[in-house]
């Protein structure tokens, strides 16, 4: 992978922080729905799926920010 410029790196870090915030927000929403007397299982399942997709995006961005190390 090519070396990232400081601008590209800053952009990826900004996007990564936004995704982490969304991930935490979904976690809070899932907890709130789970604590309700009448739970909406379908909605909880959808939020969990979104959370997993965000986690995948976070991992991909984190991997792109870590330089390749030649052993």
The CA distances from residue 45 to 32, 42, 53, 62, 64, in Å, are: 13, 5, 13, 26, 29
- At residue 31, the pLDDT reads 95
Residue 71 is predicted with a pLDDT of 57
Give per-residue pLDDT as tens, 10-65: 999 999 999 999 999 999 999 999 999 888 999 999 999 999 999 999 999 999 88
Domain ranges of the chain: 6-62
Q: Sorting pLDDT into bands at 50, 70 and 90, what band is 2? A: low
């Amino acid at each position: 992978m090519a070396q990232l410029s400081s601008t590209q790196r800053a952009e990826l870090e900004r996007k990564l922080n936004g995704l982490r915030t969304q991930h935490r927000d979904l976690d809070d929403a899932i907890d709130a729905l789970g604590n309700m007397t009448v739970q909406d299982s379908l909605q909880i399942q959808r939020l969990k799926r979104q959370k997993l997709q965000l986690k995948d995006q976070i991992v991909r961005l984190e991997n792109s920010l870590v330089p390749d190390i030649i052993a």
